[in-house]
Homo-oligomer: A and B are copies of this chain.
Amino acid sequence: MDTYTFLGPEGTFTEMALLKVPGAAEAVRVPSVNAAAALAKVRSGECDAAMLPIENSVEGGVSATLDAIASGQALRIIREVIVPVSFVLAAQPGVDLGSVVRVGTHPHAWAQTRIWADRNIPNAEYIPVTSTGAAAHALVSGAPDYQAAICARPVAERLGLAILAENIEDNSGAVTRFVLVARPGALPEATGADKTTVAIPLPEDRPGALMEILDQFATRGVNLSRIESRPTGQFLGHYFFSIDADGHIAEARMAEALRALHRISPQIRFMGSYPRADAQVPEIPAHTTDRVFDQAQRWFDGLLAE
């Protein structure tokens, strides 16, 4: 692939996620102002793929990302990336901590550094900026009304900013999940540690409809790692389910589950099978391996061939 887009501007955690993709460092990287704009670039063919945050993001767009992928022309998630969430306080060289009276950053980053800020710059005023990357860039190329920015370390380093403090996040160990989205046609091969993402409109709002859908996975030994009911937007009370399931569409148990879901809810959207970022191999119940599926099929064919 040659051209990527990402939730910009440059220097966001999302760009950091993109740079983990082999070849992306050398490729063209086009920032987008939001998930919808990024996906539009992919759908139109202007970009080959888009990197977008889907969980725990410090820069917004999270819950809407999967909705945007699920709506409109079909797209596929082809990769998952995890990035640790860690912040630095950066400023132009020569600025020291004592002279910081206003700090620019994204609201979520500000919220996630309250403990450090209350202790170390308790009187600093907060200036909201649209992203942590933009906050850092403005220190170099603009004339912002703040002296320091809270951002990711790589951005500060690339811009030649001084690091006044590091690891200032309240929760060390937090991570953000991102996905790389492309047009259909590039289904990643099964690795044994994969995820499959689907959006499934709920056929009816009744006790049991949700269970009936989830049961299609459970009956076939497919574990779920994420489930979210989302309003369809048509009117309140109508829902679809956004689900990450352990496994790959090329595996028999997942294939059978997907076909069953299509029968129950024909508007189901398949959004991709792709390697898990943590490469953790799921435990597959012994009676749902591909080999056992093959054995059952041969037994069954034998019955019909009598």
Contacts and interface: CB of A to CB of B under 8 A. Distances in A.
Nearest to A264: B287
A167 interface: no
Output the residue of A227, A228, A255, A262 with the most chain B CB within 10 A. Answer: A262
B300 A258 contact: yes
A173 B217 CA distance: 34
Contacts of A237: 225, 278, 280
A137 to B, nearest CB: 14
Contacts of A258: 300, 303
Given A55-B231, A211-B214, 5 more contacts: A128-B130, A226-B239, A249-B304, A262-B295, A264-B287
Interface of A: 34, 36, 55-56, 60, 62-64, 82, 107-108, 111, 114, 128-130, 171, 173-175, 184-185, 187, 205-208, 210-211, 214-229, 231, 233, 235-237, 239, 249-250, 255-256, 258-260, 262-264, 266, 270, 278, 280, 283, 285, 287-288, 292-293, 295-297, 299-300, 303-304, 306
